[in-house]
Amino acid sequence: MKSVLFSRFFILLPWILIVIIMLDVDTRRPAPPLTPRPYFSPYAVGRGGPRLPLRRGGPVRGAEKGNESRPQPQPQPQLPTIYAITPTYSRPVQKAELTRLANTFRQVAQLHWILVEDAAARSELVSRFLARAGLPSTHLHVPTPRRYKRPGLPRATEQRNAGLAWLRQRHQHQRAQPGVLFFADDDNTYSLELFQEMRTTRKVSVWPVGLVGGRRYERPLVENGKVVGWYTGWRADRPFAIDMAGFAVSLQVILSNPKAVFKRRGSQPGMQESDFLKQITTVEELEPKANNCTKVLVWHTRTEKVNLANEPKYHLDTVKIEV
């Protein structure tokens, strides 16, 4: 009886092994996709766009080899690049501000961050930060002349101009790729929807800004799809009564107006935006975004000055920590 069972087992064994091997092979083979799967990425804002590869720690090249049957993300039909020019300066909250900003920008497809330090040289803190930020970026620096570092005078004029000069230089020989520029101060708060709105800018687009000008919000007033005035609590007589966070300009407009820059001479704080926009557009030409300028998608938040009253005069800790 025992030997019969044994012989049956040995007759069946090869068949059992064959079935196991076949099952195993089958589960390893990727099923040919019947219809291409939509490429889903939680990081893309430009509707289904692929996540931008990280500069470091991105997908390993070799790992993609031999996986050709996997559906590849469809190439984007030239999503305009958003260039964000951010002036920044050294202070206790700088790294915290830049961290918040990078966390937002990392979720926006096809964004190039132009970070301009108000400094005589690139700082180690910002260089290290950018290298690990996982964003396509350009790191510039230019110091604000001492005579302009006074309360009541406009800030970041030289830094924004350095960003503009870099953009013009970069695109001077090639035909301009579709692109949109906007000025992203390092302390504001930006919703992801804002980037979707500004991406379709043809010349100059505008939208409301929250928590600015002594009011809950300021906004361009729109009638029949055109800007006809400004809802603002401060100097409504400005030709463009808008904050730096309230507009975007197409790369084409920046390139075809090579002399348009932020000016020190004759410019008071709060007038920089208006003086700049006057050089490149007219009120009639403005493109209202954010549902005819009825939605706040960016806030002019300001970070409280940090209390360092208990900070020792000399370094007391056993380690040196970057904050």
- Using CB under 6 A as the criterion, which residues of the chain lie in contact with ligand UGA when the complex forms? 86-89, 118, 144, 154-156, 159, 185-187, 243-244, 269, 272, 300, 302
- Asked if residue 242 lies in contact with residue 273, where contact means CB atoms within 8 angstroms, the answer is yes
300 is in an annotated binding site: yes
160 is in an annotated binding site: yes
**Residue 158 falls in which region: left (phi positive, over 0), alpha (psi -120 to 50) or beta:** alpha
Q: Which is nearer to ligand UGA, 49 or 129 (CB)?
A: 129
301 is in an annotated binding site: yes
Minimum separation from the CB atom of position 98 to Mn ion (A):
14
Question: In angstroms, what is the C-alpha Rg of the chain?
Answer: 27
Catalytically annotated residue among 273, 284, 304, 311:
273
Instruction: Identify what 89 binds: Mn ion, ligand UGA, none; CB under 5 to 8 Å per kind.
Output: ligand UGA
Those residues whose C-beta lies under 8 Å from the C-beta of residue 185, and which sit 6 or more positions away, are: 86, 87, 156, 244, 245, 300
Minimum separation from the CB atom of position 244 to ligand UGA (A):
3
287-288 and 204-206: which strand pairing?
Answer: parallel
- Cα 238 from Cα 234, distance rounded (Å): 9
Minimum separation from the CB atom of position 188 to ligand UGA (A):
7
Those residues whose C-beta lies under 8 Å from the C-beta of residue 8, and which sit 6 or more positions away, are: none
Instruction: Identify what 91 binds: ligand UGA, Mn ion, none; CB under 5 to 8 Å per kind.
Output: none
Q: Which is nearer to ligand UGA, 196 or 274 (CB)?
A: 274
- Cα 213 from Cα 225, distance rounded (Å): 24
The yes-or-no answer on residue 273 being catalytic is yes
157 is in an annotated binding site: no
List contacts with Mn ion (CB under 5 A).
185, 187
Please, which residues bridge with residue 181 across strands? Answer: 83, 249
Binding residues: 87-89, 118, 155, 160, 185-187, 300-302
Give me the active site residues, please: 273
